[in-house]
Amino acid sequence: MKRGRFITLEGIEGVGKSSNLAFLHDTLKQRGVDVWVTREPGGTDLGEEIRALLLGHRHDGMAHDTELLLMFAARAEHLGREIRPRLASGQWVLCDRFTDATYAYQGGGRGIPGKRIAVLEEWVQGSLRPDMTILLDAPLDVAFGRVSQRGAAQDRFEKEKEDFFTKVRQCYLGRAAREPSRIRVVDAARSLSEVQSDLTRLMAGLVDEVR
């Protein structure tokens, strides 16, 4: 049985991850792919409890190392209980954020050295990496404008200042420049139809590779 493909979707708040995650799911299903959609932090009962700790405001001021370790604790559970078994069975996994987000938010945003994150990545993931990572990218003014239109309460990360997200975005783009074959940057400042045209092309190429 062929191993399933692991696709991750990345980007700062306001780039359209939620709507495009659903679009990617539907696009793959239409092409006959058995795909499971999940998110990080989260994806398991324990992971969702950790997510609530990380995104809620009960623990504002959480130590950066604590935040990093909680991210990988949720990821270890997610990989062990869901992602690895599904991939091994041939199912595809589509995940809203993964370890690139940790490098971007805890590394770029919080300033934790990448080498320390890499140690945890190797410990928790071993050799497992996404087959394709789609980075939805937009300038901060565009992304922030979209977030402000939602009118929803902001989580612990969304309340960070502009400088934080500048560093997060720079880290994402730096990683994409170093791994262009895995991380595909999609200009999310364009219309939704233009973005989804690119996503359709990327999924078609990935599906064709395994057939």
CATH of domain 6-209: 3.40.50.300
Query: Of the candidates 112, 136, 106, 96, which has an alpha carbon nearest to the alpha carbon of residue 12?
Result: 136
Give the position of tokens 């971007």.
Answer: 104
Per the structure block, which two tokens stand in for 156? 């612990």
* Per-chain mean pLDDT for the chain: 95
What DSSP string describes 50-103?
HHHHHHSSTTTT--HHHHHHHHHHHHHHHIIIIIHHHHHTT-EEEEE--HHHHI
In the chain, the largest separation of any two C-alpha atoms, in whole Å, equals 49
pTM: 0.95
Q: Which tens digits make up the pLDDT trace of 77-105?
A: 999 999 999 999 999 999 999 999 999 99
Structure tokens at 209: 């590779």
Strand arrangement, sheet containing 6-10: 35-39, 92-96, 6-10, 132-137, 183-187
Q: Exposure string (b/e) for 157-178, b if CB count within 10 Å is 16 or more?
A: bbebeeebbebbbebbbebbee
- How high is the pLDDT of residue 1? 59
> Which of 47-51, 88-92, 151-155 is the least confident region?
151-155
Encode pLDDT of 175-198 as tens digits.
Answer: 999 999 999 999 999 999 999 999
